[in-house]
Structure 1
Amino acid sequence: MTDPIGYPIIEQTGQTGGLFDSALALTSRLDITSALQEFVEAARRLTGAKYAALGILGSRGETVAFHYSGMSVPDAEKLPHPPHGDGVFAQIPVDAPLIINDIASHPAFEGWPSYHPKMQNFLGVPVRIQEQVFGRLYLSDKQDGFNEADASNMSMLASAAAIAVQNARLYSESEDRANWISVSQSITTALLEGTDEEEALKLIAKKMRTVSRSSTALIVLPSIGDAWVCEIADGEDAENMIGLEFPPDGRAQTVIREGSGVVVDSMTRTRTMRIPELRGYGPALYAPMIVGGQGAGVIILLRSRTQQEFDLADLAMAESVSKQAALALELASARHAQDVAAQIDERAAIGRDLHDLAIQQLFATGMQITAIREDLESKEASPDIVDLLNQAISSVDESVKEIRHIVHRLREPDANVVVVERLRREASPARTSLGFAPSFVISLNGETLPQDVDAETVALIDNMIGADIADDVVAVTREGLSNAARHAKASSVSVTVSIDPSEVRIVVSDDGVGLSPTQSRRSGLANLAARARRHGGSFDLSRGEDRGAVITWYAPLD
């Protein structure tokens, strides 16, 4: 048998027997929501009240969740909001029940809200967990009114409900812990499998938002200069969060400096909000990314106003995963460096093999052919045969020279490539990532270089720039094109490299959505600034005249 709400009716010989059965049923539930709804249903059933409700309180005493029984869904939806806990409700003691059998005559009664059913009598019971008031049970409209037995029984049932909540919390925490561990493992696996750093950060944000049941996840990382910026965002309103700069005296940078996470009960109620975009959220969690005792960034998890607050268990798991994510990023970076070193070693090994084996074998073959030619010449062999042997010897010599050239290039891939050619080579991979060919202009002393540059001009440019700055000029051009491909969503990109005796200047502009300085990746635009500072130059990122972004990089020449 079920009651009109659909919950099973417990057969009982008296209220006490029903109370024990209901308490046992409560403590066996592992889902908090269903346990609390069962509590409300049992309280109404056992007391014979027409209406029952449970208000869950937040850290400031406000109602953050509401469970009810006895009122139809259409009638409940007409109510503007759950009870605030004012008036008669505020009279419920923190450690004892309250009986009012004539609500309208009570001094604290403030009237009924619109659409609220009129109620005659009332029993309020606090639900306490570890000496803290977790919520309040409201019962009303019992025929002949409530008595002390009702109050005593509901206090006992409230204790059972408290145990059920604690059990459900422990079970939920164990499940959450398993989910967090799974997320940690998947993040580490993805990073160590060679996932690109930016893609890895996006994965971290998405996974942590999902497992924490948050609306939005932000990753704040060091950017240009001393700025710390939201470079990765996932979830609600993520696009508007990218590029937000976090002030030095704000909570995010404090967490990074101190290396210890914090939980915020509600961003909405924060008195000082330096980033207005975060004011619309409710609970928040800040977890630092720590590597070697140093803060590498912070992960911010944001929930909506209607979601429950983060607790210390959430913070502990988020901090653990954040530290592991930071360590995994560091390991991924080290692995990339190791791969580069291995590639260099492999090239060196190939070079040694070519030098020690192939060249020697060719040299020996050349000597044998030379000896044969000399022997044939002494015997007055046919001149045609001698000419063929001479051609073979020349081919062997040319092969030796070519192999030596290959060995040199294996050791220093770009050492013999002039800077003009290296710059123009960057257009090819950019065409693939952009989906179109970028405009590429190189000028010397204010004059645009033709496609076929004479050897004298090429040598002049190499001498003016120098090998050290040339490497950075190529890297800056590559990074500028890469950023336009990743972030700009542009239909055209132009690159201008201007060279004169006093400076080299690179300008990369696009007609895309625009990229503010705070939208830089720490491994991208921040590196451009560092390369400029190393040569006593400068780096600037600004908006285009109509739209898009303009990157300007400058370095003085001796």
Structure 2
Amino acid sequence: MDDGRNDHGAGRDGSGPPRLTFPDAPRLALEETLLALTSQAADVLATQGRLRALLRAIAAFSGDLDVHVVLRHVVEAARELVDARYAALGVVRGGHLVEFIHSGMDAETVALIGDPPKGLGLLGQLVEHPEALRLRALAEHPAAVGFPENHPPMRSFLGVPIRVHDQVFGNLYLTESANGEFSDEDEQLVTALAHSAATAIANSRVHTEVQEQRRWLSASTLLTQDLFKGGERATAQVARHAALGADADLAAIAVPGVEPGTLRVDAAAGILAGQVSDLPIDIDGSHAGRVFTTGAPRLIQDYGSTLGDGDTAMLGPLVIVPLQARDEVLGTLSVARLANRPVFTASDVEHLSLFAAHAGLAIELDRSRSDQELMNLLLDRDRIAAELHDDVITELFSVGMGLQGLAGRVQTDTAVHSRVLEMAESLDTTIHRIRTTVYSLRSAQPGNRSPGPSHGPSHGPPPG
């Protein structure tokens, strides 16, 4: 029997909890809202996860002070952060790609590809225009020039510059996104990573500068100490300490050669030292010759590739500076690293130039010391010659005269007379030999040469 009450939401039998019912349209809108909220929550969680990954990546390289270790960590972190198959960091200096650190390729593939990229094509695009670049397909970009033989295929691409103190230090390159292409969020994350990497790189460069200054100061101090100890030739000591100061695999000193227009490697230290020692170098057309004539340092980042085949093809970065004392250029000082070693920087050139200036003065002081030693030797010779001539010969001559006088008194004793005469002749021979020695000692001094025919002044070209 109906009592007129409204039992909406109750069960048909009047039992159980009340149940709300909605029309179909409002219910659909609510479900869509719930789904959107759920999706947004998932996105927020995913974003939080990526941000945590970014923080972990930053923490991984922020504590390192070795710039090369920092760069390696940055490359690995960038690849993992955006789930890319390949990643690389190209260091830019003077508008050129001078160092390339990569991740994702095995050693066999790297060996098959050969030389690292030179910064052409799309990589060169980022060198010339350091701005973030994101591509769905590499081949679609106008600057794309293809890949070398044995290079793995790459389609999606993301490039982000790294700026240190408003100067482009290099670029991060990422390819082959696991999602098919890189997203705007990927670009933002890598950009944030690049900003943090710039700070870590700046800190590591300061640390590297301090270490370099200590190393060069130690090299200069030890050089001075070793030069005054004597023993090893001065140029050999300079080459040895220059290799240590520059963390180089080879150091060499070239001085003017015997033939006009040439230099000669006078001393070398490190690998290939035996091959380059006494090596003649033409002043015209050579790096060392240009430094010798102009007095300006030179930095060559890929020296071996300019020489063709041979042992020197092992060499990569090379710095040559003049070796001079006061206004006189004594020669050149070169330091080189193997082709797979880090490149030299402007700071390295400055440190080597200062060391060379110090070494030039040290060599000049060593020469002055040697000249003084020679002068002392000559003075000793002159003193000895004077003593022999003025004292010893006079006394011997007096003894000889006495013997001759004695011989006249003992003529009756034939044996004694004959013996006295023999002794007098022997004394004359000794006096003659002493006079010859005195003449030799005096003629050995500079400027006391035997007179000879005069040929007049030479009008030919100066030597060296």
TM-score after normalising by structure 2:
0.66
Of 257, 273, 285, which residue of structure 1 is paired with 2:319? 285
Equivalent residues of 2:400, 2:428 under 8 A apart:
no
Report the secondary structure of 1:413's partner residue.
helix
Cα offset, 1:294, TM superposition: 1.7
Of 342, 345, 352, which residue of structure 2 is paired with 1:318? 352
Map of 1:154 onto structure 2: 190
Q: CA 1:534/1:210 → structure 2, altered by over 3 Å: closer, same or farther?
A: farther
Structure 2 letter corresponding to 1:468: P
Alpha-carbon distance in 2 for matches of 1:533, 1:195: 40
Partner deviation per Cα, 1:315-363 (whole Å, 9 max, x = no partner): 2232233333333333333333322332233344445656777678889
Map of 1:412 onto structure 2: 439
Equivalent residues of 1:63, 1:82 under 8 A apart:
no
Q: CA 1:226/1:98 → structure 2, altered by over 3 Å: closer, same or farther?
A: same
Cα offset, 1:121, TM superposition: 3.9
Of 90, 95, 109, which residue of structure 2 is paired with 1:55? 90
Map of 2:330 onto structure 1: 296
Report the secondary structure of 1:35's partner residue.
helix
Structure 2 letter corresponding to 1:412: Y
Matching of residues 77-92 of structure 1 within 5 Å: 77-80=111-114, 82=116, 85=119, 89=123, 92=126
Cα offset, 1:215, TM superposition: 5.7
Q: After alignment, is 217-226 or 292-301 more displaced? A: 217-226
Q: CA 1:357/1:40 → structure 2, altered by over 3 Å: closer, same or farther?
A: same
Structure 2 letter corresponding to 1:292: R
Alpha-carbon distance in 1 for matches of 2:204, 2:387: 67
Equivalent residues of 1:230, 1:244 under 8 A apart:
yes
Partner deviation per Cα, 1:476-499 (whole Å, 9 max, x = no partner): xxxxxxxxxxxxxxxxxxxxxxxx
Q: Are 1:123 and 2:106 counterparts?
A: no
Cα offset, 1:124, TM superposition: 1.9
Map of 2:255 onto structure 1: 221
Report the secondary structure of 2:330's partner residue.
strand
Cα offset, 1:111, TM superposition: 6.1
Structure 1 letter corresponding to 2:86: Y
Map of 1:16 onto structure 2: 51
Structure 2: gaps (5+ residues) = 1-46
Alpha-carbon distance in 2 for matches of 1:257, 1:224: 17
Q: CA 1:391/1:188 → structure 2, altered by over 3 Å: closer, same or farther?
A: farther
Structure 2 letter corresponding to 1:256: F
Alpha-carbon distance in 1 for matches of 2:70, 2:389: 78
Cα offset, 1:293, TM superposition: 0.6
Structure 2 letter corresponding to 1:153: L
Map of 2:41 onto structure 1: none
TM-score after normalising by structure 1:
0.56
Q: Are 1:38 and 2:65 counterparts?
A: no
Structure 1: gaps (5+ residues) = 1-11, 418-465, 471-531, 539-558
Partner deviation per Cα, 1:70-120 (whole Å, 9 max, x = no partner): x444444444554555565556584543333x3268444666665555556
Report the secondary structure of 1:55's partner residue.
strand
Partner deviation per Cα, 1:401-457 (whole Å, 9 max, x = no partner): 67755664554326799xxxxxxxxxxxxxxxxxxxxxxxxxxxxxxxxxxxxxxxx
Q: CA 1:167/1:411 → structure 2, altered by over 3 Å: closer, same or farther?
A: farther
Report the secondary structure of 1:244's partner residue.
strand
Equivalent residues of 1:266, 1:305 under 8 A apart:
yes
Equivalent residues of 2:61, 2:200 under 8 A apart:
yes
Cα offset, 1:68, TM superposition: 0.8
Report the secondary structure of 2:158's partner residue.
strand
Structure 2 letter corresponding to 1:131: D
Map of 1:168 onto structure 2: 204
Q: CA 1:354/1:16 → structure 2, altered by over 3 Å: closer, same or farther?
A: same
Equivalent residues of 1:128, 1:135 under 8 A apart:
yes
Alpha-carbon distance in 1 for matches of 2:66, 2:76: 15
Calculate the aligned-residue CA RMSD, in Å.
Answer: 5.0
Alpha-carbon distance in 2 for matches of 1:83, 1:369: 95
Report the secondary structure of 2:68's partner residue.
helix
Cα offset, 1:268, TM superposition: 7.2
Alpha-carbon distance in 2 for matches of 1:369, 1:113: 101
Of 262, 286, 291, which residue of structure 1 is paired with 2:298? 262
Alpha-carbon distance in 2 for matches of 1:258, 1:39: 41
Map of 1:551 onto structure 2: none
Q: Are 1:340 and 2:374 counterparts?
A: yes
Cα offset, 1:17, TM superposition: 4.0
Q: CA 1:279/1:155 → structure 2, altered by over 3 Å: closer, same or farther?
A: same
Q: CA 1:217/1:125 → structure 2, altered by over 3 Å: closer, same or farther?
A: same
Q: After alignment, is 355-364 or 85-94 more displaced? A: 355-364
